[in-house]
């Protein structure tokens, strides 16, 4: 069982890795006393659209899995808050009013959504935090191992700087949104790797994970540090990496420093092929989304044995202890393992990545038909 203690605002993490997450449990289950049939409704609340992962992967995969687990009778009621916490609270209230059977919640703001979580519980609706932790009486949590994400990013940055990396090397940290507990874990994991190894000359938290805010922050950093004195940039995800690169190019930087990312966005995979971005973090969304659908259907149908088998990790939040959880592992994505990750897992086809103008870079990276 894995255990992570964290609060939504400030993260102090203690992780003891004893076993690993949930068992692979498929639909049908062996519970003897389900309390509901296949005619269930899963409410799905996702936080934003500036990162393509939600519309391209999370929503369609969860929808398809709920349908396949319920013989086509189950349905998903979906809403995307587009980074507006107040709107997400209204969306959650609408789902309570419609009396959905269970809610998968990926919060814009882990703290302010807690009141809505309490109202759902009072209405007898289970809430499962999806990808990002939510405060309030949630029934379970499924996410990636977010401290591992930060550690992989930090270690990759040092790897890119090479043997002669030293404490005098100035880097910039472009962290995620302060309202997202994942962002605090990414930062904590990265700092565990970077502390004492390089100088963090400027560090920003990026409102709503918006790439345009990262671009503005990076312009400030370039003006203060000097465009040729930034040895690397820790960007917490690919959207922020894109904003950082735009600012560096606008300042006339032609030889980009190593830049990290996360989410294996298609635009970032292309940048990794051309060398503009050093790495991303590959998060098998299908695994996270399908396990979440299984957890939601099992909870809605009262299949406790199946639900327990999927939530063998434990997480503490600032409002709850020993929350049943499922943590999905991640891997660094670099030029060398694009084929073995996002192509082998069917996230992208080779033709999605290797557009004609990337032919030479793709060939050099061993990416050819």
Among positions 101, 109, 131, 145, the unique one binding ligand GAL when judged by CB under 6 A = 131
Sign of the alpha-carbon torsion through 186, 192, 196, 198: negative
Q: Which two tokens stand for residue 262?
A: 């996360």
User: Which listed residue (2, 65, 111, 132) binds ligand GAL by CB under 6 A?
Assistant: 132
As a whole number of angstroms, the distance between CA 158 and CA 193 comes to 8
The secondary element (H helix, E strand) that includes residue 139 is none
Q: Is 263 in the site for ligand GAL (CB under 6 A)?
A: yes
CA trace torsion 261, 357, 53, 179 (10° rounding): 40
Smallest CA-to-CA distance from 66 within 46, 45, 41 is with 41
Mask 3-22, x = binds ligand GAL (CB under 6 A)? --------------------
CB nearer to ligand GAL: give 85 or 253. 85
Task: Provide the minimum distance between the beta carbon of 144 and ligand GAL in the complex, in angstroms, as a whole number.
Answer: 7
From 43, 45, 51, 309, residue interacting with ligand GAL (rule: CB under 6 A): 51
**Mask of contacts with ligand GAL, 143-182, x by CB under 6 A?**
---------------------------------x---x-x
Distances (CA, A) of 15 to 23, 165, 195, 312: 20, 28, 19, 15
Beta carbon nearer to ligand GAL, 151 or 176: 176
Q: In what order do the strands lie in the sheet with 126-130?
A: 15-17, 2-5, 313-316, 323-328, 140-144, 126-130, 102-105, 41-46, 75-80
Distance CA 289, CA 271 (A): 26
Restricting to residues 300-329, name those near ligand GAL by CB under 6 A. none
In whole angstroms, the minimum distance from the beta carbon of 117 to ligand GAL comes to 17
Given 262, 301, 306, 341, the residue binding ligand GAL (CB under 6 A): 262
* Secondary structure percentages of the chain, helix, strand, coil, to 5: 40, 20, 40
CA pair distance 331, 343, nearest whole angstrom: 14
Are 206 and 237 spatial neighbours (Cβ–Cβ below 8 Å)?
no
Could you give the string, one character per residue 199-228, with x where binding to ligand GAL holds by CB under 6 A and - elsewhere? ----------x-------------------
Q: To the nearest whole angstrom, how small is the minimum distance from the Cβ of residue 301 to ligand GAL?
A: 28
CA dihedral 193, 197, 203, 209 (to 10 degrees): -30
Comparing CB distances to ligand GAL, the nearer of 263 and 313 is: 263
- Output the smallest distance, CB 51 to ligand GAL, in A: 4
Q: What is the closest distance, in whole angstroms, from the C-beta atom of residue 208 to ligand GAL in the complex? A: 9
Number of residues that bind ligand GAL (CB under 6 A): 11
Which CB sits closer to ligand GAL, 209 or 278?
209
Footprint on this chain of ligand GAL (rule: CB under 6 A): 48, 51, 131-132, 176, 180, 182, 209, 237, 262-263
């Amino acid at each position: 069982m894995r255990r992570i203690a964290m609060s939504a605002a400030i993260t102090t993490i203690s992780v003891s890795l004893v076993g690993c997450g949930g068992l692979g449990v498929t639909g049908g289950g062996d519970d003897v006393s389900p309390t509901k049939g296949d005619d269930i409704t899963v409410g799905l609340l996702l936080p934003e659209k500036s990162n393509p992962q939600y519309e391209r992967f999370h929503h369609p995969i969860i929808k398809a899995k709920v349908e396949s687990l319920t013989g086509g009778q189950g349905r998903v009621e979906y809403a995307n808050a587009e980074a507006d916490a107040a709107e997400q609270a209204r969306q959650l209230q609408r789902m309570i009013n419609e009396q959905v059977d269970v809610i998968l919640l990926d919060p814009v703001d882990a703290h302010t959504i807690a009141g809505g979580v309490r109202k759902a519980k009072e209405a007898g609706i289970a809430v499962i935090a999806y990808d990002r932790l939510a405060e309030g009486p949630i029934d379970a949590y499924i996410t990636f191992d977010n401290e591992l994400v930060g550690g992989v990013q930090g270690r990759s940055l040092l790897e890119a700087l090479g043997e002669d990396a030293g404490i005098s090397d100035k880097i910039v940290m472009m962290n995620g949104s302060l309202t997202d507990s994942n962002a605090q874990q990414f930062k904590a994991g990265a700092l565990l790797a970077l502390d004492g190894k390089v100088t963090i000359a400027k560090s920003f938290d990026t409102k709503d994970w918006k790439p345009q805010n990262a671009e503005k922050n990076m312009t400030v950093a370039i003006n203060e540090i000097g465009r040729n004195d930034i040895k690397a940039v820790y960007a917490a995800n690919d959207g922020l990496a894109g904003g950082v690169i735009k600012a560096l190019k606008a300042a006339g930087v032609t030889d980009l420093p190593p830049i990290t990312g996360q989410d294996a966005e298609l635009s970032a995979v292309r940048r990794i092929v051309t060398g503009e971005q050093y790495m991303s973090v590959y998060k098998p969304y299908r695994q996270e989304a399908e396990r979440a659908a299984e957890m939601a259907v099992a909870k809605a149908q009262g299949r406790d044995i199946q639900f327990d088998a999927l939530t063998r990790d434990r997480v503490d939040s600032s409002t709850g202890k020993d929350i049943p959880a499922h943590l999905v592992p991640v891997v660094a994505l670099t030029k060398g393992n694009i084929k073995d990750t996002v192509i082998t897992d069917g996230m992208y086809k080779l033709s999605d990545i290797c557009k004609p103008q990337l032919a030479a870079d793709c060939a050099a990276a061993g990416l050819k038909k």
